[in-house]
Amino acid sequence: MLTKPDLSSLQNTQERPRLRGLAVLIGFLMCVPVTAAVASQTSSGIFSLMVPPVSGLLALLVVNIPLRRFVPRFALTQSDLIVCFAIMSVAGAIAGEWASCVFPSVVKFPFEARTNPLFKDQFVKHTPDWLAIRDIAQVKDMEGGGLGWQYSLSKLPMFLPIYLAWGALVLSVCFAMQCINSLMRGAWCEKERLTFPLIQLPVAMSEGGGSSGMWKSKHMWIAFGIMFSIDMLNGLNYLFPNLPSIPVKDLFYIDRAFKEPPWSNIGDFRIAIYPFMAAIGLFMPSDLLFSFVAFFLLRKATHVALASQGIPQSTFSGTAIAPGPPYFDEQTWGAVLAMFLGAIWVSRDYLKGVWRDIRLGNRSEDGGIAHRWSFVGLVICFSITVGFGMIGGLPMAYMIPYVGLFLIFSIVLTRVRAQLGPPTHEFAFFGSNSIMGRFLGTKWLSDSQAVWVSNSFYFINRLYRNHPMPYQLEAMKMGTTEKLDQKKLFYIIGGATVVGLFLSFYFR
Report pLDDT digits (tens) over 51-84.
899 999 999 999 999 998 898 888 999 999 999 9
* Closest by Cα among 244, 266, 209, 229 to 85: 209
* Closest by Cα among 496, 466, 506, 421 to 197: 421
Backbone angles phi, psi at 271, to 5 degrees: -105, 120
pLDDT (tens digit, 9 = 90+) per residue, 299-349?
999 999 999 999 989 888 888 888 888 998 899 999 999 999 999 999 999
Q: How far apart are CA 481 and CA 208, in angstroms?
A: 14
**Does residue 7 have a pLDDT over 60?**
no
Q: How far apart are CA 448 and CA 123, in angstroms?
A: 8
The stretch 375-398 carries a mean pLDDT of: 95
For residue 440, what pLDDT is reported? Answer: 87
pLDDT (tens digit, 9 = 90+) per residue, 388-444?
999 999 999 999 999 999 999 999 999 999 988 888 888 888 889 888 888 888 888
- Which one is predicted more confidently, 284 or 226? 226
Q: Where are the domains of the chain?
A: 105-192+314-465
For residue 429, what pLDDT is reported? Answer: 85
For residue 8, what pLDDT is reported? Answer: 41
For the chain, counts of helices (H) and of strands (E): 22, 2
Percent of the chain's residues with pLDDT above 70: 96
The stretch 191-213 carries a mean pLDDT of: 87
With bands split at pLDDT 50, 70 and 90, how would you rate the model's confidence at 146? low
The stretch 146-161 carries a mean pLDDT of: 80
Q: How far apart are CA 147 and CA 144, in angstroms?
A: 8
pTM of the entire predicted model: 0.89
Q: How far apart are CA 36 and CA 457, in angstroms?
A: 24
For residue 114, what pLDDT is reported? Answer: 86
Q: How far apart are CA 185 and CA 490, in angstroms?
A: 11
Reduced to 3 states, what is the DSSP secondary structure of residue 131? coil
**Does residue 12 have a pLDDT over 60?**
no
Q: What is the mean pLDDT of the chain?
A: 87
Backbone angles phi, psi at 270, to 5 degrees: -125, 155
Burial bucket for residue 322 (CB in 10 Å: 0-12, 13-18, 19+): middle
For residue 17, what pLDDT is reported? Answer: 64
326 prior amide bond cis, ω within 30: yes
Query: b/e for 34-44, b at 16 or more Cβ within 10 A?
Result: bbbbbbeeeeb
**Does residue 16 have a pLDDT over 90?**
no
Q: How far apart are CA 404 and CA 400, in angstroms?
A: 6
For residue 3, what pLDDT is reported? Answer: 44
pLDDT (tens digit, 9 = 90+) per residue, 103-122?
888 888 888 888 888 888 88
For residue 457, what pLDDT is reported? Answer: 92
With bands split at pLDDT 50, 70 and 90, how would you rate the model's confidence at 474? very high
- Rounded to 10 degrees, the C-alpha dihedral 165/166/168/169 comes to 130
For residue 15, what pLDDT is reported? Answer: 56
For residue 1, what pLDDT is reported? Answer: 40
pLDDT (tens digit, 9 = 90+) per residue, 250-296?
788 888 888 888 998 998 888 887 777 777 777 777 777 788 889 88
Backbone angles phi, psi at 450, to 5 degrees: -65, -40
Q: How far apart are CA 235 and CA 241, in angstroms?
A: 10
Query: CA geometry: angle at 309 spanning 307 and 311, to 5°?
Result: 50
Q: How far apart are CA 50 and CA 35, in angstroms?
A: 11
The stretch 448-461 carries a mean pLDDT of: 90
For residue 4, what pLDDT is reported? Answer: 43
Q: How far apart are CA 360 and CA 356, in angstroms?
A: 6
For residue 379, what pLDDT is reported? Answer: 96
